[in-house]
Structure 1
């Protein structure tokens, strides 16, 4: 009886454990997190499949993928990290660009009329929040803007680095930093809309932020493979493109 009880317990445990593994796991760059919530709703409604979103900076997600994290699709904030994964054998398919992002300068209290990158040298601005340029492409773009305008040296000591674009948004919306650089998609999200003022940064001041996704090898021999491929294709569909456009992506 004891053996039967133990066997039944493990069968029940395995059955319980199998449910989460049926979900497609999508590693998502922080700037895309709100867009991905809407895409998730549309995809699940259309396909009947379930997915889980894991959010972090593109660099951190790439490190996790390298270390064997069980992600099925990686939606990055640039092309560099997906290309690296492809070259290192993490996928059989080359990454594809799904959208081009836009950089904004954002502040809780500074009026839109006074909000411009050149004004960041002013004495009343003590802290400027940017995503960590080592792991977040939007942080790298912010540094390019400061260098292009020749104000990096005057603002360097004011820079406060967020682990991701999400943490940078927190610094800005709480007023911990007087101003900061972020993604247009974040300020346009329902969660952030109306929180302060923003201006779109001149795109000629930084390298275009082309964002790519890649179908990972992890799900190759998994029952999830078909569903992962289905989601990957959906990411480039007209429905998904309309959602990206709504959040300011090109």
Structure 2
């Protein structure tokens, strides 16, 4: 029986590879549902038939656990990294360039629903730039939306996940810099199993959960710029 894996947008590319590897090992097919962690949480609370929730922070998985929707407490499977990315050839990404008058739009994921958006706002506040740059900020619903803004050049520059710029689809496109991880709270990415009545489905979900912490899966995550939990 196939799995339905609710996946935070920053994990989309890594998850494609993880699922492929998992299916090859176990024969269990998986469907990936991608959105912001906040949106996915709302869907799960409303009864969406997902089996595993792979989030971009611990807040939302804990929310589900405290609501009695998950089997056990969530665990951190990886730590995310924030980058500044542009597809404008004339721009060299840097924290300083954000203040440049030529920049009209800086895209950030919605901090209300997307943990990478929360991290980006925390970064700007840490650097004392938030109030100054506030008029330039535009918000995407999730990291996927942010990427579309940057890729279409609707925004000159934006904050995204390192996993995006290292993905096969985006690698080598534009220019990016990794931001100082000490300038924003750790992006603790959590996973949790949704409580299941179907025994076989619960078994397959538990198998995927276990796989996510395997050396093999952790290596895939590292290849996408995540910091491993071990």
* Cα deviation digits, residues 137-194 of structure 1 (max 9, x gap): 0001110111111111111011110111011011111111111000000010011112
Task: Supply the distance in 1 between the matched residues of 2:156 and 2:29 (Cα, whole angstroms).
Answer: 40
Which residue in the other structure is 1:15 paired with? none
Unpaired stretches in structure 1, ≥5 consecutive residues: 1-21
SS, match of residue 191 in structure 1: coil
Aligned partner of 2:111 among 133, 136, 144: 133
Aligned partner of 2:186 among 193, 208, 219: 208
Task: Supply the distance in 2 between the matched residues of 1:235 and 1:146 (Cα, whole angstroms).
Answer: 32
Which residue in the other structure is 1:13 paired with? none
Structure with bigger helix share is: 1
TM-score (norm 1): 0.88
Q: CA deviation at 1:221?
A: 3.2
Count of equivalent residues: 227
Aligned partner of 2:77 among 98, 107, 122: 98
Which residue in the other structure is 1:55 paired with? 34
Q: CA deviation at 1:111?
A: 6.0
SS, match of residue 200 in structure 2: coil
Task: Supply the distance in 2 between the matched residues of 1:75 and 1:89 (Cα, whole angstroms).
Answer: 17
Task: Supply the distance in 1 between the matched residues of 2:103 and 2:130 (Cα, whole angstroms).
Answer: 14
Which residue in the other structure is 1:248 paired with? 225
Which residue in the other structure is 2:163 paired with? 185
Which residue in the other structure is 1:195 paired with? 173
Task: Supply the distance in 2 between the matched residues of 1:49 and 1:150 (Cα, whole angstroms).
Answer: 48
TM-score (norm 2): 0.96
Unpaired stretches in structure 2, ≥5 consecutive residues: none
Which residue in the other structure is 1:85 paired with? 64
8 Å Cα contact 1:74-1:213 kept in structure 2: yes
What is the aligned-residue RMSD (CA, Å)?
A: 1.1
Which residue in the other structure is 1:236 paired with? 213
Task: Supply the distance in 2 between the matched residues of 1:159 and 1:60 (Cα, whole angstroms).
Answer: 21
SS, match of residue 244 in structure 1: helix
Task: Supply the distance in 1 between the matched residues of 2:202 and 2:187 (Cα, whole angstroms).
Answer: 29
